[in-house]
Structure 1
Amino acid sequence: MTMRPYVLLSVATSVDGYIDDTTPERLLLSNEADFDRVDQVRAESDAILIGATTLRRDNPRLLVNSAQRRDEREARGLPPYPLKITITRTGDLDRDLKFWHHGGDKLIYCPDAAVPKLRERLGGLADIAGLGATLDFGAMLDDLGARGIKRLMVEGGGTIHTQFLTAGLADEIHLAIAPFFLGDPEAPRFVNAGGFPNGPGNRMTLAETRTIGDIALLRYLPREKVK
């Protein structure tokens, strides 16, 4: 049986749990040292996943920025950049997004009905994989395992994180907390409402706490029950 990849959710939030504000500009929550930590986690991953809403809103390149880390990957027989993945229900993705034009290979997961639209819009910019009638995250992880992906880094946004967590599919969470409040009820949050396995009766394991400048990094293991 093909092994699913180890799933690591990576997120930076305000103290009150927001991952962005409602302005057109991206809200910078991390500091330079924490951005460098994230770059290291990317370099250690086989694939990085981001949701289509975040892709459209932030227009990221989603790269390993350090040339040294890219060289180290190649010295291990890996491509310089991890596989970049996005997941979309509608297929409404613009071919001009930076995501397609930087870094290595790209992969899109979508319902079967969206495959023709994506092929027409994106041409050969990405591999496109249908997941059936709906977006089945378990089937996606099975497919990634069959592709040889052993470690998957998920960088959001909130809907994607919610789906991984409510389905019990996350192995690890890196939660970087910025030292300020946002307080905007219209802004996106780390997770949305849902039925989470890790409620009060099934507390997560806190594996690490660390300060990175003015950032607090908490590393949780959702699948390990506190004794």
Structure 2
Amino acid sequence: MIVSAAMSIDGYLDDVSPKRLMLSNAADFDRVDAVRAGVDAIAVGAGTVRADDPRLLVRSPERRDARVEAGKAPSPLRVVLSPSGDLDPDARLFAGEGGPVVVYTSERGKEACDLAPGAAEVVALGDTLELGDALRDLAGRGVERLLVEGGGTIHTLFFAGDLVDEAHLTVAPFLLGGAGGPKFVHAAAFPQSPARPLRLVETRALGEVALLVYRRD
């Protein structure tokens, strides 16, 4: 499982302005597209859908064609984790482009979810949305490589659950301080401690941003 995020030096995923802050660049977007092309599913939280309105598609025609030639869909399965089911039916993710979307939620969230039939498969996983249940369902769908693209709450759940095999962190060359909004992770008991650190396997300059890749031994 891979976590991928772009952040400021002080760990913010965005600022507090209504306009999305760019923390990456074209070279890094292309790198992320290549990572997307190599996984079976891409997962985000409901907050990321609301804040970023992503499509979560493989953009490169060559990469989409290569997936099709390998017997796969042009883009990976798209996954949303939303305990409340509070999702905008007009979000680009549910516009019908790019193949199936699976929304994992609770029983109450499924009742509250306002998505049109066919926009997504809404799967209720009991009274609460347990991450382990979602991952088991994904495994049953043939998902072996999962890419998690945000936000901070979802990152925290995966790291705290010791589920992250690899972390791809793009760091922008500035700090946000008091203008910072959501953070990369929230306070939690993390197993990736000084006693058991992740291993740095790659550093790369991509224009003005830095890519850091960590792996779990």
Q: Which band: TM-score by shorter chain?
A: over 0.9
**Match for 1:25 among 19, 22, 25?**
19
RMSD of the alignment, in Å?
1.2
**Match for 1:117 among 108, 112, 125?**
112
Identity %: 48
Counterpart of 1:56? 50
1:156-210 Cα offsets, whole Å, 9 max, x none, are 0000000110111111100111111111265111001111011121111112111
Structure 1 residue 221 displacement after superposition: 1.4
Contact 2:102 2:123 in 1 (8 A): yes
Counterparts of 1:26 and 1:93 in 2: how far apart (Å)?
Answer: 19
Q: For 1:103-182, list aligned pairs within 5 A.
A: 103-118=98-113, 120-182=114-176
Aligned residue type for 2:98 = G
Tell me the matched-pair count: 216
Counterparts of 1:24 and 1:58 in 2: how far apart (Å)?
Answer: 11
Distance 1:33 1:186, change over 3 A: closer
Structure 1 residue ranges (4+ consecutive) displaced by more than 4 angstroms after TM superposition: none
Counterpart of 1:184? 178
Counterpart of 1:89? 83
Structure 1 residue 26 displacement after superposition: 1.0
Counterparts of 2:56 and 2:39 in 1: how far apart (Å)?
Answer: 12
Counterpart of 2:8? 14
Counterpart of 2:211? 217
1:72-121 Cα offsets, whole Å, 9 max, x none, are 11010101011111010111111111111131110000112222332x53
**What is the SS of the residue equivalent to 1:121?**
coil
TM-score, length-scaled by structure 2: 0.95
Structure 1 residue 151 displacement after superposition: 0.7
Counterparts of 2:15 and 2:116 in 1: how far apart (Å)?
Answer: 29
- The answer to whether the aligner puts 1:195 opposite 2:189 as a matched pair is yes
Aligned residue type for 1:127 = E
Counterparts of 2:187 and 2:116 in 1: how far apart (Å)?
Answer: 33
Aligned residue type for 1:128 = V
Aligned residue type for 1:63 = L
TM-score, length-scaled by structure 1: 0.91
Contact 2:54 2:93 in 1 (8 A): yes
**Match for 1:72 among 66, 86, 89?**
66
Counterparts of 1:190 and 1:51 in 2: how far apart (Å)?
Answer: 13
**What is the SS of the residue equivalent to 1:148?**
coil
Aligned residue type for 1:43 = A
